[in-house]
Amino acid sequence: MATKYGKYLVTEPRGKDIGAFPRWIIYGARDFEGAEFSVRLHYLAEPYLMIKEAHSHDFDQFYLIIGADLANPWDFHAEVELCLGKEEEKHIITAPTAVHIPKGMVHGPLNFKKIDRPIILIDSLLSAQYALAGQQPPKIQ
């Protein structure tokens, strides 16, 4: 039986895993009637080059990078390299960190260079789905 507010819940929002590691994905375009918000959660337990080339988006993006022990997310044993701006200014992340990437800002590469204990990346978008600047979003399923 359908409920009045059931459309506001997504059960098991699983995305395509990265190797053996799980990811959870919610796109406003697919899951919440076009809401201008999306979130992707990545569990990482070994080094991984997530973004190979610098790029930008037509929306604001926010990263939250924390330790995967949710009882103590400050227990962070990793080194993440993130480049920001056209100059590819390099930032080395070695502690839980929040990052705001304003609309149009070039960013990348994003390289999880060293992971001694698993970490989590929460990638939030002020967009109904992920797309590179000036490009049509890919069809999502």
pLDDT tens string 37-85: 999 999 999 999 999 999 999 999 999 999 999 999 999 999 999 999 9
The class level of CATH for 21-125 reads mainly beta
Q: For 81-97, what is each residue's pLDDT tens digit? A: 999 999 999 999 999 99
- Model pTM score: 0.87
Burial tier of 124 (Cβ tally within 10 Å: 0-12, 13-18, 19+): middle
The more confidently predicted of residues 133 and 74 is 74
